[in-house]
Structure 1
Amino acid sequence: MTLADTALTEVMAELAALEDPKIREMNEKHGDDHGVNLGKLRAVAKRLKTQHEFARRLWETGDTAARLLALLICRPKAFERDELDVMLRDARTPKVHDWLVNYVVKKNRHCEDLRLAWSADPDPVVASAGWALTTERVAKQPEGLDLVGLLDVIEAEMKDAPDRLQWAMNHCLAQIGIDNPSLRARAIDIGERLEVLKDYPTPPNCTSPFAPIWITEIVRRQQLT
């Protein structure tokens, strides 16, 4: 057994020891199949520091906790486009999918190319990643985006989209309404007519993901600052 094999065995054993049945039960309600406290997982990552090749070994295990750890210790800019595409298509649990997009793809030089490719993908989970990257651009780099065209697509397709794609499109709708006063009324109108996430259970003191409420509340807060 090589030193790399030994290190992998030891880290996998450490992750297994952190498994908490109650956390797993809670996570499984959201489609995630791990029971590791994320604060403790981040502590392991902090100790290991950046180790890109070791991150690849962790990813290859297919274990969700190991993959989350891999995304924390990898070097995001070191991945090639096709490698990220394969990883995303293999990342079916929501937390791994979310961390891969937000912690790795957004920092990679192929981000825009992948955004365009994924947004048009027939796989709704892959497409949801493309929409998440589009929302990021709406918020931080809207130049060159056809915002009216995005609203057209959302209006036509969001109502019947599968859950994860619907959620990503709804986020984009809200972001367009929040950041663009000239499109705000239309964004709110689309949300009101489609009623996507209108009845989503929202804890006290949290903002509803229903786009008309979300847009109105965030704009109100911005006007107070």
Structure 2
Amino acid sequence: MAAVDDVLAELESLGTEQTRKTYRRHGVGDNQYGVLYSALGKIEKRIKVDHELALALWDSGNHDARVLAAMIADPGQADPALLDAWANDVDNYTLGDAVSTFASSTPLAQETAERWIESDRELVAAMGWNMLGTIATKDRDLPDSYFDRLLSRIEVELADSQNRVRYSMNNALIAIGLRNESLEQTAVAVAGRLGTVVVDHGQTNCKTPDAIAYIEKTKAHRARRKK
């Protein structure tokens, strides 16, 4: 295992005030170095998987270290206690994206997502919906009925859900709609009835995708690639 102090020192050396300023606009607090994701990706490529190091980096409390921890942790060594502990530590949606990506790669993905979407905590519930979107993309064994139930729930609950939960629900709707033609029809109908999904992105330039337009655009892109 690489020495955690050495990795933290490397992360600190790679941080810039410009990146810290950008991350602050996305809700990241002061305990950060401001390391670009491209630099984190290079470190991940070098380290590959190191679960013990990941745990130590997470325990540092530093934002960049925690994002890297989620990138190098071993999915096979995750258990519900670890996933829930990390989820409960998440204090901004960018870290939430990293944790939900890791959790989606574990054998516990489906049960974790189903548990997290029931959370009263905005970021935890949003992570659960992020994961359900990933599951819709990657898990080919689940029946359409599973996703039909999720689409029904999205239609009923999205408008009254918390800000980041609305965003993640909308993304899950898109992912489900791209799973197959049958689910696409249902997802597009749900999106039409929901109308514009309003999400407050704060001081960032982020936009909430229009589900119907995004599904059509992605379908067209896939068709071009097949040719």
Q: TM-score range by the shorter chain?
A: 0.7 to 0.9
- Distance apart, 1:42 and its partner CA: 2.6
- How do 1:184-199 and structure 2 match up within 5 A? 184-197=184-197
- How do 1:1-225 and structure 2 match up within 5 A? 7-33=3-29, 34=32, 35-102=34-101, 104-141=102-139, 143-144=142-143, 145-197=145-197, 209-224=209-224, 225=226
What per-residue deviation string (whole Å, max 9, x for no partner) do you get for residues 29-71 of structure 1? 2223441122222333334443221221110011101112222
Q: CA RMSD in A?
A: 2.7
Q: What TM-score results when the alignment is normalised by the length of structure 1?
A: 0.83
What per-residue deviation string (whole Å, max 9, x for no partner) do you get for residues 167-223 of structure 1? 11111211222233234344223323323347999xxxxx97111111122223333
Report sequence identity in percent. 27
The whole-number CA distance in structure 1 between the counterparts of 2:217 and 2:44 is 36
- Distance apart, 1:101 and its partner CA: 1.6
The whole-number CA distance in structure 2 between the counterparts of 1:46 and 1:181 is 36
Task: Work out which structure has the larger RCO, using CA pairs closer than 8 Å and 6 or more positions apart in sequence.
Answer: 2
Q: Secondary structure at the match of 2:107?
A: coil
Q: Which has the larger radius of gyration?
A: 1
The whole-number CA distance in structure 1 between the counterparts of 2:56 and 2:199 is 42
Long gaps (5+) in structure 2: 202-206
Long gaps (5+) in structure 1: 202-206
Moved more, 76-85 or 58-67: 76-85
The whole-number CA distance in structure 2 between the counterparts of 1:199 and 1:49 is 35
- Distance apart, 1:8 and its partner CA: 2.8
What per-residue deviation string (whole Å, max 9, x for no partner) do you get for residues 91-113 of structure 1? 222222111221x2122222222
Q: What TM-score results when the alignment is normalised by the length of structure 2?
A: 0.82
